[in-house]
Amino acid sequence: MSVSLGPDERPPLSGDASLEAPESTARWIGILLILVLLTEQAALAFALFTPALPKIAAHYQTTQVVWVMTALVLAAAIASPVLGKLADIYGKKRILVVTAAVASTGALISALAPTFGILLAGRFLSGVGFAFTALGYSLIRDVFPARLQPMSIGIANTGVGVVTVLAPLVSGFMLDRTGVASVFWFSFALCAVGGVLTLLFVPETPVRARVSVDWVGALLLTAGLFAAMLMLSMGAGWGWLSGRTLGVLGLALAAFATWVAWERRVAEPLISIEVLTSRAVGITLLAGGVAYGATTLIATLLPMLLQTPAADYGFGLSVTEMALWLLPGGVLIVVSGVFVGATARRIGFRQHLIAGSVLIAVGALILGTTPSHPWQIVAAYGLVGFGSMIYAAVPNLVMLALPAEQRAVGANFTGLSQSMFGGMLSSVGFALLAQHVVTADATGIVYDSRGFFVAFLVAAVAALAGAVLAFWITAGRRGESSDAASPVGPRSAAR
């Protein structure tokens, strides 16, 4: 791979003396705020929509509502590395704008969807927005003044905590007053405005890389992931040992095997299999991935539990009431990122991953008992929230394990692991939950409490597996830190 300047042959803007002047700081802050409109879309995708799942299930009369999130993370897993390659070739601003156009179109389709299938198609298109974060902070690295880069990259990657805390309240206000479509319209507006402002005011990087995109690898990976998630989601209904389930499983395994063989042969693979399977990186991504998946499943299940009528075992909360109950946990998500940053050298990122995974497992087990008192829900989700320090630990562990020239690749691996395991564990959890439907009518779907116990147990086991696997991680022990691997905070416990 070679790197060149763009057609204007200008050096990176961070070297322009005029832009390094202190009086230009306000301009760069404005550009950063524009980028944050896009980079926060990944956090919004969960914080805004998981509270809406029960209402979406009731509106479309479906027990497969988990696909509202699964379609999103499936698209994210495929689109992120491809869009990263395209950004290197054609420019990061250009691909940001194109990605915003696709994602906002997806939100528009979902807002207008007359059927559940069309809604899922829109959600799949919206999933490309998960690439905003990596594209945003890599553009900042290219064009922002050096003195502003650390702060700007941190904000672009972790946001300012507002989304995590306030998005459920915004979602609740809209859902309780204007209906399901409103959250999709809200997402459409933010994404479209961010794309237009990026087009008008954000500078383009002059840096270009002469690489090719591995379209065959992307197609094979897409086929394997889709088949795997379809099998996990539908297997319980089909029968785990039925011919249909085993056939789809066979297709998934064949697609993955072909993809691995192809990636080993192609000159410029979509993902380096050698790096992916190395002990330092592979175990970190596996441990972090299953723990990530546990938080995704918990955040998807909890709104459904809280909105279950109180006559059964739930609390019959409105979405706004539910958001207020979960607010302390959202604050602890933000606090957990600060905690990791403050104790990185004293405790070590590996210990953060272990401790965070254990806290998530304990919180999931408590929620699985379908508690009868509000304080138990708040406390359990608080454990999950503070356990979300894993979102700060895993990226830093990957950065420590990789040489400097491969750290951008490592960022893509982290996002891919998060998306894959989040989607797969959610599919498993909801496939098991769907076997415990008590009633399904125009008012919504009610599940037996045993279904929630089993689904939350899946999350707890996954989080504990992440903690156990983390003991084999060789980097990020106490006292081991790196300036290059500065602490990265969590996006959201729902991711």
Position with higher pLDDT, 68 vs 440: 68
Neighbours of 442 (CB within 10 A): 7
Does 459 have pLDDT greater than 90?
Answer: yes
Position 401 in a domain: yes
**R_g of the chain, CA atoms, integer Å:** 22
Cα–Cα dist 153/36, whole Å: 10
439 band by pLDDT with thresholds 50, 70 and 90: confident
Cβ–Cβ < 8 Å for 370, 452:
yes
Integer angstrom CA distances of residue 461 from 43, 93, 297, 425? 24, 41, 12, 11
Categorize the per-residue pLDDT at 442 as very low, low, confident or very high, splitting at 50, 70 and 90: low
Percent with pLDDT over 70 in the chain:
84
Give the pLDDT confidence score for residue 178 in this predicted structure: 84
Q: Do residues 324 and 254 both lie within one domain? A: no
16 within some domain: no
DSSP string, 340-382: HHHHHHHH-HHHHHHHHHHHHHHHHHHHHT--SSHHHHHHHHH
Does the residue 18 lie in any domain?
no
In a domain, 3, yes or no: no
Does residue 278 have a pLDDT over 60?
Answer: yes
The CA dihedral of 371, 373, 374, 380, to the nearest 10 degrees, is -40
d(CA 339, CA 335): 6
Nearest-angstrom CA–CA distance, 314 and 319? 13
Q: Which of 7-21, 234-248, 288-302, 426-440 has the lowest mean pLDDT?
A: 7-21
User: What CATH number should be reported for the domain holding residue 79?
Assistant: 1.20.1250.20
- How buried is residue 480: exposed, middle or buried, by Cβ count under 10 Å (0-12/13-18/19+)? middle
Has residue 272 got a pLDDT over 90?
Answer: no
* 332 or 20, which is more confident: 332
* pLDDT tens, position by position, 8-28: 444 444 444 344 455 488 889
Q: What pLDDT is stored for residue 494 in this prediction?
A: 39
Residue 103 belongs to some domain of the structure: yes
DSSP label at residue 147: G
Q: pTM of this prediction? A: 0.75
β-bridge mates for residue 445, sequence order = 440
Residues 236 and 339 in one domain: no
pLDDT bin (cut points 50, 70, 90) of residue 480 is: low
Q: What is the pLDDT of residue 176?
A: 81
- How close are the terminal C-alpha atoms of the chain, in Å? 32
pLDDT value of residue 486: 44
Residues 325 and 409 in one domain: yes
> Residue 481 falls within a domain, yes or no?
no
Do both 429 and 452 map to the same domain? yes
Residue scoring higher pLDDT (464 or 428)? 464
| Shared domain check, 302 and 189 | no
pLDDT at 488: 47
Instruction: Using pLDDT thresholds of 50, 70 and 90, give the confidence band for residue 203.
Output: very high
Q: Write out the residue range of the structural domain in which residue 140 sits.
A: 26-210
Spatial contact of 101 and 76, defined as CB atoms under 8 Å apart: no
Same domain, 31 and 160: yes
361 has a pLDDT exceeding 80: yes
The structural domain count of the chain equals 3
Nearest Cα to Cα of residue 485 among 357, 351, 348: 348
Instruction: Report the amino acid identity of residue 213.
Output: V
pLDDT the model gives residue 161 = 57
Q: Are residues 134 and 188 in the same domain?
A: yes
Residues 205 and 225 in one domain: no
Burial of 310 (0-12, 13-18, 19+ CB in 10 A): exposed
Find the DSSP H helices in 61-180.
Answer: 67-90, 92-112, 116-126, 132-143, 149-158, 162-178
Domain membership flag for residue 119 = yes
Query: For residue 411, is pLDDT > 70?
Result: no
The pLDDT value recorded for residue 70 is: 81
Picking from 365, 377, 373, 376, the residue whose alpha carbon sits closest to that of residue 456 is: 365
- Domain shared by 101 and 193, yes or no: yes
User: How does pLDDT run across 75-118, given as a tens digit for each residue?
Assistant: 887 787 788 878 888 888 999 999 999 999 999 999 999 999 99
Amino acid identity of residue 272, one-letter, is S
pLDDT tier at 461, thresholds 50, 70, 90: very high
* The pLDDT value given to residue 51: 81
In terms of DSSP bridges, do strands 207-210 and 437-441 run parallel, antiparallel, or are they unpaired?
unpaired
**Average pLDDT rounded to a whole number, residues 343-359:** 91
What confidence score (pLDDT) does residue 377 get? 95
275 and 257 housed in the same domain = no
Joined tokens for residue 33? 């705020």
Over residues 133-177, the pLDDT tens digits come to: 778 877 887 888 877 876 676 666 555 556 666 777 888 888 888
Q: Does residue 172 sit within a domain?
A: yes
> Averaged over 425-443, what is the pLDDT?
81
Residues 6+ apart with CB under 8 A from 100: 38, 129, 132, 191, 192, 194, 195, 198
User: Model confidence at 482, in pLDDT bands (50, 70, 90)?
Assistant: very low
Please provide the average confidence, as pLDDT, over all residues in the chain. Answer: 82
Of 245, 267, 289, the domain-final residue: 267
Cβ 103 vs Cβ 84: under 8 Å: no
Q: Is 388 within 8 Å of 243 (Cβ atoms)?
A: no
Q: Does residue 251 carry a pLDDT above 70?
A: yes
Tell me, yes or no, whether 178 and 234 share the same domain. no
Confidence of residue 410 (pLDDT cuts 50, 70, 90): low
Residue 262 and residue 322 share a domain: no
Q: How confident is the model at residue 457 (pLDDT cuts 50, 70, 90)?
A: very high
The pLDDT of residue 378 is above 90: yes
Name residue 415's amino acid.
G
Per-residue confidence (pLDDT) for residue 409, from 0 to 100? 56
pLDDT, mean of residues 63-73: 83
Encoding tokens for residue 491?
Answer: 């996006």
